[in-house]
Chain A
Amino acid sequence: MKPFQFNHKAVGIFLTAFYPSKERFVDLLLDLQQQAIDFIEIGIPYSDPIADGPVIQATSEVALANGFSVSELFDLLDELQDQLQKPTVLMGYGNQVIQFGMEAFLQRCEKANIQALIFPDLPLEMLEHHIATTTHKSKVPFVHLVTPNTADERIAHIAKACTNSFVYLVGNAQTTGGSYALEAQLERYAAIKTLCGNVPVFLGFGIDSREKKALAHSVTDGVIIGSAYLQAVKNGKEQHFLASI
């Protein structure tokens, strides 16, 4: 079962749980099921998101002020399960899963039919350290990040760990939502794609236009769009944005 092997170039949309409100989040999540996209990444709001730029930070603050809690998110995902046809990925920070309990967290993910997990501050080495203490062998795979600056051997090593999910290629080694020219690194992206073999490579961070999406698609298997979508949500223009992309 490889939910991230698509027979076309993929598009994933990132949105922050409970942003701009719990109700609107549900609307957005259901709306995305109808859109021409392939998977959905739900961000778990966190008080100290060190890998995130201003847009996602701001959405997390709003969501936390809305009374977000991890178990409420799981309850919601359980409830909506029948209506969520597209693969769902959760992204959060390591402290949240450790506080919830690694084992309990993984079990709730299985129950909610979560297809993959991304914890940017739980790199491979640290994840192994914590997984080693769980007795329940989880079926939910983890996604790991690589950047254009990641060493080749490390990329190959990371790709192996992502066999059942995908490799998250951070387009430019910077926090989310930054702006940069993809052209400058296309060759590197292609080389990374080769290093990852059959494991899908999705490029994220800073994709905000049809042009950038096309460039990324020319050398990888897909893109993940976050800050630009959330910015559109903030302005009430998400339909327009999704159509434009």
Chain B
Amino acid sequence: MKTFSHRPNDRGFYGEFGGAYIPELLHNNVEELKVAFETICHEATFNQAYTDLLKQFVGRPTPLYFAPQLSKKHHTNIFLKREDLCHTGAHKINNTIGQALLAKRMGKTTIVAETGAGQHGVATATVCALMNLNCIVFMGEKDIERQAPNVARMKLLGAEVLPASSGSKTLKDATNEALRFWINHPETYYLIGSVVGPHPYPAMVAHFQAVISEEIKVQLQAQTGNSQPTAILACVGGGSNAAGAFYHYFEAENVRLIAVEAAGEGLHSGKSAATSLLGTPGILHGSFSLVMQTNDGQVVEPHSISAGLDYHGIGPLHAHAIQSKRAETIAITDEEALEAVKTCSRLEGIIPALESAHALAALNQLNFKPEDVVVVNLSGRGDKDMNTYMNHFDL
């Protein structure tokens, strides 16, 4: 096992992954952000404001729910970390609250963000409304068509949604456009939505999502008498909910950390988004990580039924955790995820997001003992996916 650390070095590297692969045009922007993150985010007044908003606005702490029927089905003890109960319906808002507060403290008045399915876009538009910031969200032209309700939500919240019409017109292109916008408007704050991008973004987003495992520790201790579970499962798109759920357990080596990837129509079908299994080292959106690409270094379009996992990279922290074997990977197909949506809905009365359903489906591939304690990070609720569910289940 290569030595693993969940903290990057001063150049932003986690092992061989990370760094800041940015054109000189972004040098000052990124330096400014680095300094702000290292100072402001560790001040007591900042943390107080962040914690207060998580409590009063987001509704934290989210429950750690013992799922009796799923536990019975899998002959073990399953707890669901209910990020689906966060305001706006997913964990994404933990990060947007933190970064928007930082932007405010930096004196920024305009926020730019990228979004795929629209979850991060909605979470960004929400905090911008809350904090009186201008909000611009880039979204792939194709995604704007596919995710009309989230586009409407962002607009209702006062955000401007700009189409990314380059390349494949999806999340990667929305991210390219947001980066270009940041180059051309250095006075804006770029609020990235996952543990990706140039240093310090991966570390910063992980920092703001770490509240998930901070709560799990306290809740598990209270509910089971032991703060350490046997395993934690989380789905990985860019990796922010997984980073948050794993964060305070990275150093607890007996806790299994299981990253669940989207296999799409099958791991080797050519229509998959399982980057940690299919990707090779490369540069994407400002960091060195695992990337799905051709032999010639051109980025390959991923596929997953779940828009939130439909990304061809993963954050450098996960690339490092997987390479150094601190984290394991399981790949789940579209079909398996849909089946898990139904199971969780019927057994527990909880309709999960398609992304989170991947983590639930992974339970079928694992054999736990009756005394084991397994935490599944339920990153979001299924409301945004009802169209897919209606079509698939013929509702």
Closest to B179 in A: A50
Given contacts A47-B299, A69-B296, A99-B282, contact A145 B25 (CB under 8 A): yes
> Which of B14-22, B266-274, B355-363 binds A?
B14-22
Can you name 23 A-B pairs with beta carbons within 8 Å? A46-B298, A47-B167, A48-B176, A50-B176, A64-B298, A69-B296, A70-B297, A93-B297, A95-B283, A95-B284, A95-B293, A99-B280, A120-B25, A121-B22, A122-B21, A123-B22, A126-B19, A145-B25, A149-B28, A154-B27, A173-B25, A175-B180, A175-B184
Q: Quick check: A95 and B24 within 8 Å, CB to CB?
A: no
Q: Quick check: A98 and B183 within 8 Å, CB to CB?
A: no
Q: Bound complex: CA of A99 vs CA of B296, how far in Å?
A: 7
Within 8 Å of chain B (Cβ to Cβ): is A125?
yes
Q: Bound complex: CA of A47 vs CA of B173, how far in Å?
A: 9
Within 8 Å of chain A (Cβ to Cβ): is B158?
no
Within 8 Å of chain A (Cβ to Cβ): is B11?
yes
Within 8 Å of chain B (Cβ to Cβ): is A150?
yes
Q: Bound complex: CA of A217 vs CA of B347, how far in Å?
A: 73
Q: How far is the CB of A156 from chain B (nearest CB, A)?
A: 14
Q: Quick check: A121 and B21 within 8 Å, CB to CB?
A: yes
Q: How many A-B residue pairs have CB under 8 A?
A: 113
In the complex, chain B residues whose CB is within 8 Å of the CB of A16: none
Within 8 Å of chain A (Cβ to Cβ): is B226?
no
Q: How far is the CB of A22 from chain B (nearest CB, A)?
A: 15
The total of chain A residues at the interface (CB under 8 A) is 43
Q: Bound complex: CA of A69 vs CA of B296, how far in Å?
A: 6
In the complex, chain B residues whose CB is within 8 Å of the CB of A51: 23, 25, 180, 183
For chain A, residues 82 to 135, give those with C-beta under 8 angstroms from any C-beta of chain B.
93-100, 120-123, 125-126, 129
Within 8 Å of chain A (Cβ to Cβ): is B172?
yes
**Option from A57, A96, A122 in Cβ contact (under 8 Å) with B166:** A57
Within 8 Å of chain A (Cβ to Cβ): is B286?
yes
- Bin chain B's interface residue count: 35 or more
Given contacts A48-B167, A175-B183, A175-B184, contact A121 B296 (CB under 8 A): no
Q: Quick check: B280 and A144 within 8 Å, CB to CB?
A: no
Q: Quick check: A98 and B281 within 8 Å, CB to CB?
A: yes
Within 8 Å of chain B (Cβ to Cβ): is A78?
no
Q: Bound complex: CA of A46 vs CA of B172, how far in Å?
A: 13
For chain B, residues 160 to 175, give those with C-beta under 8 angstroms from any C-beta of chain A.
166-167, 172-173
Given contacts A50-B180, A70-B297, A98-B297, contact A147 B24 (CB under 8 A): yes
Within 8 Å of chain A (Cβ to Cβ): is B291?
yes
**Option from B24, B27, B28, B297 in Cβ contact (under 8 Å) with A100:** B297
In the complex, chain B residues whose CB is within 8 Å of the CB of A42: none
Within 8 Å of chain A (Cβ to Cβ): is B295?
yes
In the complex, chain B residues whose CB is within 8 Å of the CB of A170: 24-25
Q: Quick check: B282 and A173 within 8 Å, CB to CB?
A: no
Q: Bound complex: CA of A97 vs CA of B296, how far in Å?
A: 9
Within 8 Å of chain B (Cβ to Cβ): is A233?
no
For chain A, residues 157 to 175, give those with C-beta under 8 angstroms from any C-beta of chain B.
158, 170, 173-175
In the complex, chain B residues whose CB is within 8 Å of the CB of A98: 281-283, 288, 297
In the complex, chain A residues whose CB is within 8 Å of the CB of B180: 50-51, 53, 175
Q: Bound complex: CA of A105 vs CA of B182, how far in Å?
A: 31
Q: Bound complex: CA of A71 vs CA of B285, how far in Å?
A: 24
Q: Quick check: B286 and A121 within 8 Å, CB to CB?
A: yes
In the complex, chain A residues whose CB is within 8 Å of the CB of B166: 54, 57, 61
Closest to A127 in B: B21
Known: A94-B283, A98-B288. 5 other contacts (CB 8 A): A46-B298, A96-B296, A98-B297, A120-B25, A147-B24
